[in-house]
Structure 1
Amino acid sequence: MLFDIPDERGGAMMEQRWGNPLMCHFPLIPIIRAVPMPYMALVYAALWFGALGIALGYRYRLSAWLFTICYWYLFLIEKSFWNNHSYLFGLVGLLLACTEANCYWSLDVYLGYCKSRKTVPYWNYFILKYQFFILYFMAGMKKGTVEWLTGYSVQNLSEHWVFNPFKLILTTAQTDYLIVHWFVFVFDLTVALWMMWSRTRHVAMVFCALFHLMNSRLFSIGMFPWVCLATMPLFYPFDWPKLITSYAETQAAKVKGVFRKYICSSVLNSNYIQCPSYTLQKQFTAEEKTDEGSDKNNVLNGEAEKINSDNELKDLEQKTNNERPQHKHDWKVVKKYITLAFIGFHILTQAFLPYSHFITKGYNNWTKGLYGYSWDMMIHTWNIESVVVKVVDNINQEEFFIDPSFYTPNDRWTRHGDMVHQYAQCLKERVGILGNHDFYFNLSVYVDVWCSMNGRFTQRMFDYKVDLLETPWSPFQPISYLMPLLDEALSWRDVLREKEKDVHSWNNYSDVVFIADFPGYDQEKYLPPELTNITITVLNGTVAFQPELSRYMNAQSYRVKNGEHIKLEPGTSHKIINIGASPAFYMYTFANGSEALNFKDSPPKPKLPIRQELLRRLRNMVKFARIVGAKVFEVFIQLKFCS
């Protein structure tokens, strides 16, 4: 986490993420908002020092709760950066704050802040092991869907070099289907069980380690693979560190004994020192026997004294207990029941949350629930084709188009109806800050997102005819402006793959985009001038094609049916209207001339850029330290001279 905070948590870029007052943010709870810079730097500093305290076991309880509170604060104020492993880190931090992980091998014990204990309650291990069991098992359960098992999720992943050993006996398509989808499904579903069973534990550990190492090369997911590697020993018996140290001490003692024997024999055989070994051995044996006798006497006397003192203590305790008032419930027993209740609550919650989306309907889109606590990792592959944000001045009847990336930290919001609604409200506030106040109170916001999921047709996700400022949203009600996923085209996916292969075979710069639209809806599209050989072909349905006035087109509408196509001119706009009674499916084929002009023969990337990654993380750490230092000094100056 010391490396993760500057990198994945945005510590090295906190000025860009939190320093712009016009930036839109997407909090889970509206009343929990981000504090402005430079105070956000204090949150990051507390988070980092909390992680350091946990790692060293220094002031552990304070450090763990400091880390947990700061982490969940950052987590709750920005949904657009959520993913499964950031949610996992917050859970593990919360669980560690409740355990007694500082009672052994920690600075707290060394410095005397905590008494050394050789045992801790077993639930300390169990709850952490259960959390990672849920991680693996739920990931497998979520992959048991048609989308994953038919191979449409994360397509072409097997082209990565980490799958080269499998491709010695399998084709790329077979590797993608059998290894990436089916083997990973079985692996996620069962690996935690294999790691808990002693007979299969070692083999399962090897497979699990290879799995996480491959993930570290395949995806940009920060420290998640390394955290999973570090937590794999949780599935071994809880005393494995002591067994390893005991074995190491035994081996070191053997080596030390052999070394001493060699030194002693060398000294005794030298010409300078005469050592009658028999006399010395006899003398030492006699002395050892004398010492053993005296030790036995001391032990017997000590045990007798201990028995007497123990009896006196028991009598004193019995007398004291008789004098005390009898309480109905002993506090220790009550504490155990409270702990048991919290453990049971956590177990049930973690088992229920991944399937709780029938309650939180407002966070559902084409998939179920927020991408964060569902453990549906890598199941849905999204491809955003375009995002159009239109603001209408209802007083002057004027339209304005906003760059969708101007006020937002990333494009995650475009795929979630709750964040789209938050974006519209934020955009209204930003326009009010920058523009006319009458305009601020009389505007409408429309968002048109075109997206493809798991190899389907690209289609609009939200109803672009709905004014988002006039549409209510509730976390417990379905999103009214969400357009349904066109599953009518599921049977087309194999056809789309074949057509895509055919178009890509034309030349190195040819491409294709597949579009689906609803009856009565239209799409306006501008064709960049760098595109050439542009053709629109209707695959199913009936559409009206409306070009803009040009030397090739007279701006009249054309009716286009199944199998018909029209040549299009670069640098022009047109409109496609679905005039049929059912969804229309069509495709654009084109060649991108800019790719041919800008093509450069770049050197091959290294397969294991470990050095580059370490340097990047170290640079982010240094940058993070500089920002925190500067902002803390700025806060100090403000408090001292501006108060």
Structure 2
Amino acid sequence: MEDRQHHEPPAPRPPLWARLFGPVDIASLVCFRVAFGVLMMVEVLRYIPRIERYYIDPPIHFTYYGFEWVQPWPGDWMYVHFGVIGLAALCVTIGLCYRFAAAVFFLGFSYMFLLEQARYLNHIYLLCLIAFIMIFVPAHRAFSVDAWLRPKLRSDTVPAWALRLVQLQIGIPYFFGGLAKINHDWLRGEPMRMWLAERADRPLIGPLMTKEWVVYFFSYGGLLFDLLIVPAMLWRRTRPYAFVAALVFHFINGNIFTIGIFPWVMAAATLMYFPPDWPRRFRDFLGRLLRLPAAEPRPTPPPLPLPTRATGAQKCLLAFLGVYTAWQLLFPLRHWLYPGDVAWTEEGHKFSWRMKLRDKAGTVSFHATDPSTGESWRIDLRGKVKKWQLSEMTGRPEMILQLAHHLGEQLRAEGVPDVEIRVLAPVSLNGREPQFLIDPDVDLMKVERSLLPASWIRPEAPLEPAAQARLSEM
């Protein structure tokens, strides 16, 4: 009689919450903490020479909806503010009063970000989010002043959720950035074609910038990179090649476009997709390569068992992680709630990882009317707004509305109580023919800031004969 082999059924896979709270090596998280802290110190130092220009001199600051109360510190206190967040970044780096320092840095850096819409950059928003999650991840349990001062804090492991949260936050901009590039303009090479042409005078690479194959290489290469880099980093077999591709991608981006420390942050963050103990392996490899005396092997502790039951604190943390993840996945999709092309209307554009998708060129003029006399005049913007703010505002309806209200309030204070403000804003999107962005017949003083669809923003459509005549007169 043929023997039958009896195989034990495979052990059931632990539930997700147990895997999230299971221990993993802390080494990669410590390296990221140090890299993030150092890069944030560099970023603060980069801002210091620009504090007066961006945060002290402007007579108006374009705040975000709901954050109108965020205003610059008076006098020279903005310099003190940047000094504090620089010190907080240093404390994050060395792990001194880590959680408090991370919270101070997040609040201070986010305050700086919220002060001025004209300075909006996706990578600054990402730095704010990373700073926020660094408050919660226990990246100070090793190689830190805190761990040296408090031996009970020391640990070679952290819960797996800490690494997964960082990986998620880094992966979301890639995914949504690639998803947003699947649109007609990007697939036909705009606005990449215009941006590369502006760099045609650069030595060595300049002549290549006007080649069509280069335009499409950047456009389609960027799209595929954004969509595929995270899956490729998650798969062990493609991870080394994906990492090299990421380094090349960020190096090229950093040299062609002015994006500050962003390439370095992303290069450091991409290392988080390697096994958590990669720094220890790299250290051992260097030791063998340089023939350094091997350190005494530490006894390998037995693997810690997965938790069998979630505590109340763990359930609260899981709820927080679920809400935060849902917000990060849903908020970038809110532009589908608005009519029209988001690249034109800007409704739902910010905080959605819609990176490098539109180039707007145009002009904007503000016209006041005194209804009691019927007199109308064009408002002179000199001294009322900075040129760098005006340049950014031209294609941003929400910023135009803010300035209209600011100018109207000034005129009311000067004795025109019922002043009306209208705007002529011919704008070209990605090289197309200019069209009016704002309805020139709408009195913007009667329009309140809102998250609802804005009827005063004109749809991107051919101009009517009357509007075309008005545009030709400008």
TM-score (normalised: structure 2): 0.79
Q: Percent identity?
A: 25
CA contact (8 A) 1:387 1:404 kept: no
CA contact (8 A) 1:26 1:78 kept: yes
Instruction: Please list, as runs of the form range in 1=range in 2, the aligned pairs for 1:468-617 lying within 5 A after superposition.
Output: 468-476=444-452, 478-486=453-461, 517-521=463-467, 575=473
Can you give the 5+ residue segments of structure 1 that lack an aligned partner in the other structure?
258-329, 489-516, 526-573, 577-643
Aligned residue identity for 1:407:
K
Describe the SS at the equivalent of 1:101.
coil
Partner of 2:371: 394
Of 409, 420, 423, the residue aligned with 1:444 is: 420
CA contact (8 A) 1:84 1:377 kept: yes
Q: How much does 1:96 deviate? A: 0.6
Distance 1:101 1:361, change over 3 A: farther
Aligned residue identity for 1:225:
P
Matched, 1:343 2:321: yes
Of 198, 201, 207, the residue aligned with 2:245 is: 207
Distance 1:156 1:74, change over 3 A: closer
Of 151, 172, 191, the residue aligned with 2:189 is: 151
CA contact (8 A) 1:29 1:77 kept: no
Matched, 1:454 2:430: yes
Out of 45-54 and 185-194, give the one that drifted further. 45-54
CA contact (8 A) 1:28 1:77 kept: no
CA contact (8 A) 2:368 2:379 kept: yes
Aligned residue identity for 1:181:
S
CA contact (8 A) 2:340 2:459 kept: no
Aligned residue identity for 1:366:
W
Of 37, 50, 66, the residue aligned with 2:104 is: 66
- Structure 1 residues 141-186: Cα deviation after superposition (integer angstroms, max 9, x where no partner): 1111111112222214455579978999x98112212x11122211
C-alpha separation between the residues in 2 aligned to 1:119 and 1:414?
A: 51
Q: How much does 1:76 deviate? A: 2.7
Partner of 1:354: 332
Distance 1:575 1:165, change over 3 A: closer
C-alpha separation between the residues in 2 aligned to 1:224 and 1:187?
A: 16
Partner of 1:556: none
CA contact (8 A) 2:345 2:457 kept: no
Aligned residue identity for 1:519:
P
Instruction: Please list, as runs of the form range in 1=range in 2, the aligned pairs for 1:123-138 lying within 5 A after superposition.
Output: 123-138=161-176
Describe the SS at the equivalent of 2:135.
helix
CA contact (8 A) 2:95 2:144 kept: yes
Aligned residue identity for 1:73:
Y
What is the root-mean-square deviation in Å for CA atoms of aligned residues? Answer: 3.1
Aligned residue identity for 1:139:
G
Describe the SS at the equivalent of 2:259.
coil
Partner of 1:28: 65
Partner of 1:108: 146
- Structure 1 residues 243-301: Cα deviation after superposition (integer angstroms, max 9, x where no partner): 1223334555x4559xxxxxxxxxxxxxxxxxxxxxxxxxxxxxxxxxxxxxxxxxxxx
Higher fraction of strand: 1
Q: Which has the larger Rg?
A: 1
Partner of 1:377: 355
Partner of 1:512: none
Q: How much does 1:378 deviate? A: 0.8
CA contact (8 A) 1:449 1:460 kept: yes
Of 37, 40, 43, the residue aligned with 1:4 is: 43
Distance 1:92 1:68, change over 3 A: same
C-alpha separation between the residues in 2 aligned to 1:194 and 1:402?
A: 54
Distance 1:33 1:402, change over 3 A: same
TM-score (normalised: structure 1): 0.60
C-alpha separation between the residues in 2 aligned to 1:101 and 1:420?
A: 43
Describe the SS at the equivalent of 2:356.
coil
Partner of 2:31: none
Of 51, 61, 70, the residue aligned with 2:89 is: 51
- Structure 1 residues 190-248: Cα deviation after superposition (integer angstroms, max 9, x where no partner): 01111111111111111111110111111111111111112121111011111122333
Of 108, 113, 117, the residue aligned with 2:155 is: 117
Instruction: Please list, as runs of the form range in 1=range in 2, the aligned pairs for 1:179-198 lying within 5 A after superposition.
Output: 179-198=217-236
C-alpha separation between the residues in 2 aligned to 1:518 and 1:455?
A: 20
Q: How much does 1:354 deviate? A: 1.2
Matched, 1:176 2:215: yes
C-alpha separation between the residues in 1 aligned to 2:205 and 2:231?
A: 26
C-alpha separation between the residues in 2 aligned to 1:337 and 1:34?
A: 37
C-alpha separation between the residues in 2 aligned to 1:373 and 1:352?
A: 11
C-alpha separation between the residues in 2 aligned to 1:360 and 1:54?
A: 40
Describe the SS at the equivalent of 1:463.
coil
Distance 1:44 1:429, change over 3 A: farther
CA contact (8 A) 1:387 1:448 kept: yes
Distance 1:423 1:362, change over 3 A: farther
CA contact (8 A) 1:445 1:469 kept: yes
**Higher normalized contact order (CA 8 Å, seq sep 6+, divided by chain length):** 2
CA contact (8 A) 1:47 1:70 kept: yes
C-alpha separation between the residues in 1 aligned to 2:118 and 2:180?
A: 22
CA contact (8 A) 1:158 1:176 kept: yes
C-alpha separation between the residues in 1 aligned to 2:282 and 2:379?
A: 61
C-alpha separation between the residues in 2 aligned to 1:75 and 1:338?
A: 29
Describe the SS at the equivalent of 1:338.
helix
- Structure 1 residues 570-600: Cα deviation after superposition (integer angstroms, max 9, x where no partner): xxxx838xxxxxxxxxxxxxxxxxxxxxxxx
- Structure 1 residues 70-127: Cα deviation after superposition (integer angstroms, max 9, x where no partner): 1222223322221211110000000111110111111222333872210001111111
C-alpha separation between the residues in 2 aligned to 1:390 and 1:46?
A: 43
- Structure 1 residues 597-633: Cα deviation after superposition (integer angstroms, max 9, x where no partner): xxxxxxxxxxxxxxxxxxxxxxxxxxxxxxxxxxxxx
Distance 1:157 1:467, change over 3 A: closer
Of 46, 56, 61, the residue aligned with 1:19 is: 56
